[in-house]
Amino acid sequence: MGYQALYRVWRPQQLGDIAGQEHITQTLQNALVHNKFSHAYLFTGPRGTGKTSAAKIVAKAINCEKAPVPEPCNECKSCKGITDGSIVDVIEIDAASNNGVDEIRDIRDKVKFAPNEVRYKVYIIDEVHMLSTGAFNALLKTLEEPPKHVIFILATTEPHKIPLTIISRCQRFDFKRISNDALVARMKFIVSHYDTEVNDDALQMVARASDGGMRDALSLLDQAMSYSEGAVTLEDVLSITGAVSQNFLYEIVNAIQEKNSVQALKAVNLLLAEGKDPQRFIEDLIYYYRDILLYQTSPSLEAMLERARVDDSFKELAADISAPSIYEWLHQLSESQQAMKWATQGKIFLELAIVKLCQSSVPANTSAAIDDEKVAFLEKKLESLEKELKDLKSGQVVIPSAEKQRKEPSKPLQRKGSASIGNKGASPQVKEVLKKATKQDLQLVSSQWGQVMERVKQYSVPAQAWLSDCKPVAASNDNVILAFQNEMHRDMIETKFRSDVESVLTQVYQKQIGFFSILSIQWDKIKEDFLKEQRGDEDLSQSEADPIVDEAIKLVGSDLIEIVESK
């Protein structure tokens, strides 16, 4: 017989050989020992995790001459016949190519016949989700009440495509992705039966590239053993998988961190010259940043890392890169990865993504700076309140009587030099701005407000963060009214960053321009009061200008009056 692939030679022959599915194999073993197995099973899970292998093992165990047993003996006539496919009572059907109603009706007609060579007739239907709606309907009744000598085992990678009426008639077992540790342990066991030596780093990379599937892992291992002339090394596995080494990922990420686009692009060109897939590299880069973020969260999560190996250089990199930077870079890489799916020139998108990452400026201490400003502001408030309390205790502050307080309500305090508006109403300066305000001036200010925010950010990142809470609501030729959602944000701009904002306004609009701040909840009331005042003035001026018209309107009504201007 010719050469057989590793995954065929080492296909599990006992439930204990199925790696990483202990929660399923233990349940099945207990059911087999106590003869409590079901008439229908549904095995779901990713490819290469042992679904079909488990189905054949169960078929052997229930028909083993030594049954009831937790595992098939693989020595009796029944076990050997089922293994080599010579026993016709164990029928394996591929639903991808036998998905019609006629095929299922044929099964329904034959299940009533007793098995020829073994105790139970077993139907293993692989990729059962491929059956048509009519085929599922034809299977329903038989699946619910099959003869005592028939067992159905359905296997699928897409259980969501199976009707609930089918799922409810089966015992469902969900196979999970096999962990890297379980994959490596199984591969070490297999390699020990050959003369070839495989490095641990190579096995780890094979496990990562197989995405939790044992069949994929053994196929890659088989390919690597054929590719290498001596011991299988990490470089051999990288060559056949198209992945890149950790050292290469470190060089790229380090160049991005140092904003060295020249070094990063040279490394990318070297990568592409070796025939690596640009989309695969972006995926590796995303996983590498993800590993850095997990390690920053907690070093104890080392076992969850996908692409990185924790060494001194990785620890140094994790200490230097800020979490906000990683969030921004992951977002950009994800966008580039999506764009590359529909592009014919993946190289261009990869180079563009690297340049963007090198040129992006994500401040590492934005949140910390804003928090510091909040703390400083609250400390000042606390200090002021403590001073007032101390003065009250010492008797230095005279508290007016209750009756005097009722007659003379307290006025809201206004900060000296502040252009903000309190709760009482609009200041005279703001009224003047509203009188001179035009729609064109507001449109001009709003259209260039994005530039104002960018310029403020260059002056101070915290200032830009506080200012992002407001928007311009009115503007004249030399002043702007800014409405803030939050009082603290407005106060911080007034007390700490007013000069910076006014300087930026002058730079952007190329003229001397100031601003007045107001809370958004007050703006609607102020605007309404101002419009009422304006309408009242207009009515008054019209009445005073022509008392005859006003008297005529009172006598006969405005509907019967027609005013004709004299020429």
Q: Give bridge partners of residue 516 from the DSSP assignment.
A: 481
Given a cut of 80, whether residue 541 has pLDDT beyond it is no
CATH number at residue 272: 1.20.272.10
What angle (nearest 5°) sits at the alpha carbon of residue 52, between those of residues 47 and 54? 115
Together in a domain, 462 and 566? yes
Q: For residue 144, what is the domain's CATH number? A: 3.40.50.300
- The per-residue pLDDT for 547 is 62
Specify the number of domains making up the chain.
4
- Give domain status of residue 121, yes or no: yes
pLDDT at 264 over 70: yes
Question: How distant is the alpha carbon of residue 116 from its chain centre?
Answer: 55
User: At 366, is the pLDDT very low, low, confident or very high (cuts 50, 70, 90)?
Assistant: very low
For the chain, the straight-line distance linking the first and the last C-alpha, in angstroms and rounded, comes to 117
Q: What is the pLDDT of residues 480-492, one digit of tens each?
A: 999 888 888 888 8
Confidence at residue 217, expressed as pLDDT on a 0 to 100 scale: 92
CA dist 212 and 248 (Å) reads 24
Residue after which a domain boundary falls, among 241, 259, 293: 241
Clarify whether residues 273 and 207 are in a common domain: no
H or E element, residue 289: helix 278-297
Separation in Å, CA 493 to CA 162, 420, 487, 508, 515? 60, 10, 10, 18, 11
- Kindly tell me the burial class for residue 395, based on how many C-beta atoms sit within 10 Å of its own C-beta (0-12, 13-18, 19 or more): exposed
Distances (CA, A) of 151 to 124, 170, 339: 9, 11, 48
- Residue 32 placed within a domain: yes
By DSSP bridging, strand 470-475 and strand 479-484 are antiparallel
Beta bridge partners, 470, equal: 484
Domain of residue 321 covers 246-359
Helix (H) or strand (E) holding 32: helix 22-33
Instruction: Look at residues 327, 359, 391 and tell me which one is the last residue of a structural domain.
Output: 359
Percentage of residues in the chain having pLDDT higher than 90? 22
Q: Let me know if residue 511 belongs to a domain.
A: yes
Indicate whether 362 pLDDT > 60.
Answer: no
| DSSP secondary structure, 74-125, as one string | S-SHHHHHHHHT--TTEEEEETTTS-SHHHHHHHHHHTTSPPSSSS-EEEEE
Residues 10 and 104 in one domain: yes
* Per-residue pLDDT at 406: 44
- 325 and 256 both lie in a single domain: yes
Q: How many CA atoms lie within 13 A of 143 on its CB side?
A: 27
* Residue among 65, 44, 66 at smallest CA distance from 55: 44
Q: What are phi and psi of 468, to 5 degrees?
A: -65, -10
**Is pTM, for the whole model, over 0.75?**
no
* Position 285 pLDDT exceeds 50: yes
The verdict on residue 52 lying in a domain is: yes
Confidence of residue 543 (pLDDT cuts 50, 70, 90): very low
**pLDDT at position 367, please?**
45
Residue 373 pLDDT > 80: no
Main-chain phi, psi angles of 282, to 5 degrees = -60, -40
Cis peptide before 68 (omega within 30 of 0): yes
Pick from 337, 235, 233: which is nearest to 289 by CA? 337
Segment among 305-309, 505-509, 561-565 with least mean pLDDT: 561-565
pLDDT 10s digits, 158-178: 999 999 999 999 999 999 999
Gyration radius from the chain CA atoms: 39
437 and 523 in a single domain? The answer is yes
Q: Residue 343: what residue type?
A: A
pLDDT digits over 495-508, tens only? 888 888 888 888 88
Q: Give the pLDDT confidence score for residue 22 in this predicted structure.
A: 92
Residue 81 sits in the same domain as residue 184: no
Q: What is the pLDDT of residues 48-100, one digit of tens each?
A: 999 999 999 999 999 999 888 999 999 999 999 999 888 999 999 988 888 88
pLDDT higher than 90, residue 123: yes
CATH of the domain at 205: 1.10.8.60
Same domain, 511 and 537: yes
- pLDDT greater than 90 at residue 152: yes
pLDDT value of position 552: 61
pLDDT at 155 over 90: yes
* Torsion angles phi and psi, residue 459, rounded to 5: -70, -50
Whether residue 547 sits in one domain with residue 459: yes
CATH of the domain at 479: 3.30.300.180
Assess whether 22 and 165 both reside in one domain.
yes
Which residues, including other chains, have CB under 8 Å from residue 349's CB and lie 6 or more apart?
A: 278, 336, 339, 340, 343
pLDDT digits (tens, 9 = 90+) for 37-49: 899 999 999 999 9
Residues 346 and 445 in one domain: no
Residue 133, domain member (yes or no): yes
Residue 395 lies in a domain: no
If asked whether residues 19 and 159 sit together in one domain, one would say yes
Residue 284 lies in a domain: yes
The pLDDT of 191-198, averaged and rounded, is 89
Distances in whole angstroms, Cα of residue 492 to Cα of each of 50, 437, 468, 469: 62, 26, 12, 11
Take residue 46 and report the two structure tokens written for it: 């990713």
426 and 326, same domain (yes or no): no
Angle 81-86-87 from CA coordinates, rounded to 5°: 70
- 351 within a domain of the structure (yes/no): yes
User: What span, in angstroms and rounded, lies between the C-alpha atoms of 283 and 346?
Assistant: 13
Looking at 340, 359, 378, the residue that finishes a domain is 359
